[in-house]
Amino acid sequence: MKRMKQVRLTPVAALVASALVLSACGAGGRDDDDGDAADSGSTVGVTDDKVTIGAHFPLTGVAAPGYNEIPTGARAYFDFVNANGGVHGRQIEYVVRDDAYNPTNTTKVTNELLLQDEIFAMVGGLGTPTHSAVVDQLNEEGVPDLFVSSGSLMWGDDPEARPMTFGWQPDYESEAKIIGQYVAENMPDAKVGLFLQDDDFGEDAEKGARQFLEEQIVGVERYTSGNTDVGPQIAGLQGAGADLVLGFNTPAYTALARLVSLSLGYEPQWFVSSVGSDSPLVGSLLAEFSEGAVKPGAGALDGVMTTEYIPTLDQGDDPWVQLWERVWEEHGEKGDLSNYKIYGMSHAYALVQALQGVGEDLTREGLVEFMEEQGEGLDGPQLAPFRYGTDSHLGISGMRIVELEGRGSKELTPVLVTDIGDAEITEDTSGQADDAPPESGIPE
């Protein structure tokens, strides 16, 4: 297992400190009879034996399939850590509230997490349109906002504007750049259509794809999340003559797009972003949406290309997957382990590692400072390194392209890394993809 480089921690930037020190004595903080807790930072949500974190997820609603499994995976890993003594003697209390993928609800449940549950940090809040509704509030109130479950650029491209927020998964622009370069080099005659969610998800992806595919794009269609009629969009791509469709959408819309294309007799090659490419889930959704006309099965996306940035369930020999299987067996709820649960466990591992790194004197400022100073060197299942630092809070820097086959996939490229803008795409040489967890399964 790689070791994090040792960096001497320095005081948090004045911008962060001034925003946070006012809340240092807020409700939920630990009592400190011996020192100056208020002077050292905010301890809201921290006691001698517990740290409370929160998250918003669509536990119900159109985006719930798949996404509602992420917090069950995270909870299983936190329970695993708690059963082994917690972090510096503190148990992790994980509070998840349902926003049904509705930004208005996200604002409401975030207020509840802050005022009622008195969380120390928001961890893994899901969705571009939903988290956008609360990201400014979290930063203004000095609440660490870690590992947002979305690849929007706003979680890390401007740390000065959002000093408390950190992404986790690869951003959509970088993912689309890697996809775009692959298509340009390997499918130069393809007529490309873009099927995009009409928000930052789609906008960032289009920006990345156009860097390489400007001359190949023949049509762009957008859908609004919540509107399940995507017939006009798929018909539009068919009418434009697109024989390769790049889909940047959630799993439900991958299934809807595939169902409509079947009904139209439209059979393009599909290249789906990592967000919407879980074969078992899309297969079950196709069966549900078609009322049984399409049989459920993991092969629903056979031949579809996508990307991956953490090991997936089909890779049973991978040491990280073996750890997640162990965690789920010991602490999981009902149901089988899934890739969405693995996603939740993966960012839970990153949080535990960060809490370990901060040390016993846990404060909000200290957590943010650790992430900027040492976050780039975090170990974990990610296939490429993180990009955390003072100039960027963006997450994983790369991925590999694969072709889906049943419940598994076939690698088409090595792990490729890049950054936003005109950063070059290169093969990763860091060795991050060869990382393995410690024997205990808990960061050291």
Contact in structure between 164 and 367 (CB atoms under 8 Å): no
163, 28: one domain: yes
116, 130: one domain: yes
**Domain end position, chosen among 283, 308, 333:** 308
Residues shown for the chain: 444
* Burial of residue 262 (number of CB atoms within 10 Å: 0-12, 13-18, 19+): middle
Q: List the CATH number of the domain containing 216.
A: 3.40.50.2300
209, 166: one domain: no
pLDDT mean over 16-42: 46
Residue 78 lies in a domain: yes
Residue span of the structural domain in which 116 resides: 14-170+314-396
Q: Does pLDDT of 18 surpass 80?
A: no
Contact in structure between 192 and 242 (CB atoms under 8 Å): yes
User: Which residue in 314, 289, 312, 285 sits closest to 300, CA to CA?
Assistant: 285
Residue-wise pLDDT for 53-93, tens only, equals 999 999 999 889 899 999 999 999 999 999 999 999 999 99
* Burial of residue 36 (number of CB atoms within 10 Å: 0-12, 13-18, 19+): exposed
**Domain end position, chosen among 308, 328, 363:** 308
160, 207: one domain: no
Q: Exposed e or buried b for every residue in 225-248, given b needs 16+ CB within 10 A? A: beeeebeebbebbbeeebbbbbbb
Give the pLDDT confidence score for residue 125 in this predicted structure.
Answer: 98
Task: Give the other-Cβ count within 10 Å of 122's Cβ.
Answer: 26
- pTM for this predicted structure: 0.88
Give the pLDDT confidence score for residue 293 in this predicted structure.
Answer: 75
Contact in structure between 125 and 105 (CB atoms under 8 Å): no
Residue 91 lies in a domain: yes
Residue 222 lies in a domain: yes
Residue-wise pLDDT for 425-435, tens only, equals 999 999 999 99
Residue-wise pLDDT for 193-207, tens only, equals 999 999 889 999 999
301 versus 31: the higher-pLDDT residue is 301
Q: Does pLDDT of 31 surpass 50?
A: no
Give the pLDDT confidence score for residue 292 in this predicted structure.
Answer: 77
**Domain end position, chosen among 290, 308, 326:** 308
Give the pLDDT confidence score for residue 29 in this predicted structure.
Answer: 55
Residue-wise pLDDT for 5-16, tens only, equals 333 333 334 333
